[in-house]
Structure 1
């Protein structure tokens, strides 16, 4: 983990200033220039450090302008059949055991009850408001509150008019907009682009409470209601759509979300440092259009200013030279949307700059604007991460909702121990969002949170999840991270575990031991998220896991058993999985436990053919482990796999990659994993016939399906 001596352990503050050691390493990066049309990101001076718990001074409030004539109608309407106005009014009852005053305000009455005349910042989210540290909006809201700002939340607003966006009035500083914990397309649609029948982040799992492309639509409604109020975008949807990207729903390359939405900034990655700095700068009456130097943000430059800057660069003007030392240009939207090889090249370039230590800014011209991404923000220090997760979260959904929020039920009694993942799975966006370097909480902080869980009246003594994106990367690090960040020329775990990586589970074992011995805790389970290739590096951890921290079954994600596909995924092959499952069986026998593995598998991933899926079906047939836990690959923005899906190329090697795009072939691939289901018989038969494998049809012991007859 990267240490920052500017934030001593125990000091509850954020500090954007680099250490003297870091300054010496990159002197060019520390220069700054502020010229017409652009700013070069610089270190934030001591007076700009971000501190928790410091009440911000406030300027006299402004009155809200009246809505102009003609506002309020749009073609983007919410289905009245599912969430009409009458139904919404009937649902506004308070049934939570906690009073609304314990939460960030969601209504004018709650704002008034706090003695506030106005809010500084309003957060818009596509999720229901759950005040739990697993929900991004709750974290951002509590961090801003802790920094001294008056924060309110508008959750799942109606988007057919700007009225819901006016209900808390005009914020003094800005609106922050997020689609929620997931991309709205993923929340609303299956891999087959059919509407989902459940939304885990909505009350009672109801669907239809958020639009597709929620960030863009919410921003448009805000702009209608309050044309002059700054808009800052954040969350996974905005973060991963900050450049031109392949959009699965429209099956084309779309512009950066900043080019489509009437917003001023995008906060990408984990946004605590950025959002507090933006708030403090606006509090100091800076113009949002001049806040262009914060790492971990993206902003817009006028096309004319960009052309002038490039001309200055050709003339080796000092100011332009300074900019081009800090930024690199990638192919424009027009270029990447017309040529797939160019798209892959642009993806590779900005992917390799996702390093908070050595990364540069990235510029991508668009037809009507130029998108400028500043270098990534550093990870939080241990002290900062401790402070974030110990803010006064209630751990409950707001009492506005009489129904449960399914996503909360899954994580209510879980503990987040760290952020980041160096696994590098091609289909996963965590690397691009949280980064490859692990930022961990202290053991003491996690135990304090666990103790609070034991004091909840509905806690039954079971902590059902301990970990982060990957459960067993807690406190792991690499000796190169502090000096140069995660390596650009190699992966940490693929094709084999890097010897420079510290894979010791010692600190995690200490944490787990303390958790299970905490008064009031019967069990602290880690039933999912275990990276099994890492677990094999530490037999003591694996034995402790089997003996104390699994509730009957352990969910792991080999994803596939064909080498060609696991190579495309940057995942370990079946040999590693077999070593793990064998060791798991031996240790369970030693512990006297009857526990088993549940596999998560994937169909339709780039590189996967019908022959590969048949190989996987045969492997499952021969080794057991038939499972319903099969996911069809869904292209989501900014992952390596999505780049391969769209371009048919590996962006790092330029080699062609097979892609199953037709609905029929994707359906056949998925059906092969459920070959026992009578409903899939025709698809499985067709797949076997197409692959020339009708030898797997019949009554022999090795056949996947029987030959159809009148008795079938």
Structure 2
């Protein structure tokens, strides 16, 4: 973190410098820490520049010039999400900064950091990574500006984007640069995005059109697409193999299979083209069947290589057992709130096959599950118990979800996650192994560790999946809840849960009933806390009123409500921007006006006096003034001169 620490190591220079918008926390829940430790483990000398000032290049010069490259990340979250509320107001706290202080990272952090680096070190390669770069790798809808922006590779002076979980990619890049390979030659690594000159792309297409063999392949591809209409001149859905060497770029076989999606110019002007492009690249995010994806931009051409394979169990174990201190850097005088939440938690797996429309995990970690071994998790847990501030409680065990550990599908090994159906929606796929047996064994063994008093799973349980295994639910209620279990039904209107690709209220009700019965059986008084969402595509005022009535009738009033925030590369954001379901082409209602979004959220807090006028206006607009009055069914009282 400082030149003094570099000297203390006996180093004269650094191989790689990681720049991050977060405070530096050496914990495996923080992406920069993982990448730094993985590179160190591979033999590289790594420095960290955390939350640099961006109004000048001075902070970026403190280590001098790295021998190999800079790697730039906005941090664990997109900088817009870190800095701004769903209403685009500045947040009053930043969980990833010391003391929760705000203002320590800019909006569009990656672009700004990269420009500052390029000012000082114009010849040093820049590799982008983390969630912000990963999810902005194609032309995308940007909520802050309310328009379609170019790929981050077209806006930032960078050489590569590492997307997804990047351990394998970053180490290979480092090794190839160390071996003397030029950064512009490194274009074949899965899980990376690079850019090609427009002239070179046109030359490749020209060669392709002139190859009779390729024309035969195109014709065969047309027949296999079952009637999909393609003109002889169209390039967008065709597959090319063994592309000839591009003379202008002096490289061979850039990619063997690719699809070309609508260009930035098309998607920024035509919402139907945007939805088509989204659908096309969404279906290629499969490390086994995925093809390279090409998207032309006005001044460059963006090429996404197919996704990187999952880490094996042995590789994942190795990553999480690297010598993380589990602490914030000692230079900080105030705690980093995000660490306090995860300090005594354990990551068991990556990936999520839930497929929620508003979640980007599918595009970042993927739908297939990569799990650690039980023994590896136990070794990490034992180290936690040896910390002087450990109080006997492990407060989280899981990954993107708490209960997908060790699960899989028999089709994943050969073809990856299915492209034509979801794993859990509209119902659980019978091919999916939903046994919680391995998770139950892990949790039991964690409970038995010396100094461990409790192992809690207070969040992240996928309740429709939990219903598949009553033994897991009973163990959960008996041992792993600290009074409250947080689950995320998100909504109780079928129209909205369908748009979210979430189970409907009937599934939630079965879970709530089972949860109550099992708690009674084990003599516990424990409750469900629901996370709910307003303003999601497909959600009307009528749907929010339906949800408010459901909450009224079932005693589920909660403050855990969030307004939908469009973030890049989610299905929901595509629907929000285009008003279309990208997979069916059907129109989707979208509440975009600030007033309606505010009314939708207010309906979930209908008891709050501060929301009275908004709730009344919403009920009036929806023709539901029957819910205003003193009757039991009413949401709010009618104001009069005596009230």
Bin the TM-score by the shorter chain.
over 0.9
SS of corresponding position for 2:451: coil
- Matches of 2:425 and 2:583, distance apart in 1: 14
Contact 1:553 1:597 in 2 (8 A): yes
Contact 2:238 2:260 in 1 (8 A): no
Using structure 2 for the length normalisation, give the TM-score.
0.93
| Residues 49-71 of structure 1, C-alpha deviations (whole Å, 9 max, x = no match) | xxxxxxxxxxxxxxxxxxxxxxx
- Matches of 1:291 and 1:436, distance apart in 2: 27
| Residues 426-472 of structure 1, C-alpha deviations (whole Å, 9 max, x = no match) | 00001110000000000000000000000000000000000000100
Contact 1:528 1:556 in 2 (8 A): yes
Contact 2:599 2:618 in 1 (8 A): yes
- Matches of 1:216 and 1:591, distance apart in 2: 54
| Residues 179-200 of structure 1, C-alpha deviations (whole Å, 9 max, x = no match) | 0000000000000000000000
Partner residue in 2 for 1:699: 630
Q: Structure 1 segments of 4 or more deviating over 2 A?
A: 310-325, 709-712
- Matches of 2:432 and 2:147, distance apart in 1: 39
Alpha-carbon distance, 1:311 to partner: 12
Partner residue in 2 for 1:312: 235
- Matches of 2:522 and 2:25, distance apart in 1: 39
| Residues 643-682 of structure 1, C-alpha deviations (whole Å, 9 max, x = no match) | 0000000000000000000000000000000000000000
Alpha-carbon distance, 1:515 to partner: 0.3
SS of corresponding position for 1:258: helix
- Matches of 2:506 and 2:10, distance apart in 1: 63
Alpha-carbon distance, 1:582 to partner: 0.2
- Matches of 2:64 and 2:234, distance apart in 1: 45
Alpha-carbon distance, 1:169 to partner: 1.0
Alpha-carbon distance, 1:625 to partner: 1.2
Alpha-carbon distance, 1:325 to partner: 4.6
Contact 1:313 1:321 in 2 (8 A): no
Cα gap change, 1:507 to 1:316, in 2 (>3 Å):
closer
| Residues 240-264 of structure 1, C-alpha deviations (whole Å, 9 max, x = no match) | 0000000000000000000000000
Cα gap change, 1:511 to 1:308, in 2 (>3 Å):
same
Alpha-carbon distance, 1:320 to partner: 12
Q: Is residue 2:361 matched to residue 1:427? A: no
Alpha-carbon distance, 1:710 to partner: 3.9
SS of corresponding position for 1:311: coil
Aligned residues: 607
- Matches of 1:390 and 1:229, distance apart in 2: 31
Cα gap change, 1:710 to 1:399, in 2 (>3 Å):
farther
Cα gap change, 1:307 to 1:406, in 2 (>3 Å):
same
- Matches of 2:252 and 2:120, distance apart in 1: 41
Partner residue in 1 for 2:580: 649
Alpha-carbon distance, 1:312 to partner: 12
Higher relative contact order, chain-length normalized (CA < 8 Å, sep 6+):
1
SS of corresponding position for 2:251: helix
SS of corresponding position for 2:477: helix
Contact 2:239 2:258 in 1 (8 A): no
Alpha-carbon distance, 1:708 to partner: 1.0
SS of corresponding position for 2:141: strand
Alpha-carbon distance, 1:225 to partner: 1.1
Q: Which runs of 5+ in 1 are unaligned?
A: 1-105
Using structure 1 for the length normalisation, give the TM-score.
0.84
Match of 1:678 among 609, 618, 640: 609
Alpha-carbon distance, 1:709 to partner: 2.6
Alpha-carbon distance, 1:494 to partner: 0.3
Contact 2:187 2:254 in 1 (8 A): no
| Residues 583-622 of structure 1, C-alpha deviations (whole Å, 9 max, x = no match) | 0000000010000000000000000000000000000000
| Residues 110-162 of structure 1, C-alpha deviations (whole Å, 9 max, x = no match) | 00110001000000000000000000000000000000000000000000000
- Matches of 1:595 and 1:316, distance apart in 2: 55
Cα gap change, 1:689 to 1:304, in 2 (>3 Å):
same
Contact 2:133 2:163 in 1 (8 A): yes
- Matches of 1:312 and 1:547, distance apart in 2: 58
| Residues 622-656 of structure 1, C-alpha deviations (whole Å, 9 max, x = no match) | 00110000000000000000000000000000000
Contact 1:312 1:320 in 2 (8 A): no
Contact 2:70 2:126 in 1 (8 A): yes
